[in-house]
Amino acid sequence: MAVSAIAGSMSVSLGIGSAFINGYRYRNTTPLALDLPTAHASLNRYDAVMVRWNRALRAINAYVVAGTPAVTPVAQTPARTADIYELCIALVYVAAGATSITQGAITDRRLDSTV
C-alpha cells in the first residue's frame, strides 16, 4: 500500500495492498484517493495516512489524520487502545501555503514497526 502524490493536488493515492491489525485484514483492491486538508498560511504540519481498526464500528478504514500546524511540526502518533488501533502507512509534509503535494513530501512508514 504505497502512498503516492496525485500531481497538482492536495491529495495522495493509497496503492493496492493489505494490512493486518489484531487478526483482521484490511484489503485495498484499487488505488484510493485521500484528500489532505488545506495547508495553513504560515505554519507547516505533518499529516499521517493511517489504517484504523475500530472495534465499536467493526470496521477497518484508511484515512488521513491532519497534523497540528507549527513552526517545528511533529508527526502524529498512532492511536493504540483496546478499541482503536492505527497503523501509520506514510507521513506527508504539508508546507505552509502549499497548494499541492509532491512525492518528495511523502515519507513511507510501512516498515517502521513502532508506528
DSSP calls for 42-81: S-BEEEEEEEEEETTTTEEEEEEE----BSS--PPPPPBS
Residues 40-78 as b or e (16 or more Cβ within 10 Å = b): beebbbbbbbbbbbeeeeeebebebbebebeeebebbeb
**In this structure, are residues 34 and 63 in contact, taking their beta carbons and an 8 Å threshold?**
yes
Q: What is the mean pLDDT of the chain?
A: 95
Residue 13 has pLDDT above 90, yes or no: yes
> What is the residue type of 95?
A
d(CA 21, CA 59): 11
Share of the chain above pLDDT 70, in %: 100
What the block records as the C-alpha cell of 30 is 484499487
What the block records as the C-alpha cell of 61 is 478504514
Q: pLDDT of 50-105, one tens digit each? A: 999 999 999 999 999 999 999 999 998 999 999 999 999 999 999 999 999 999 99
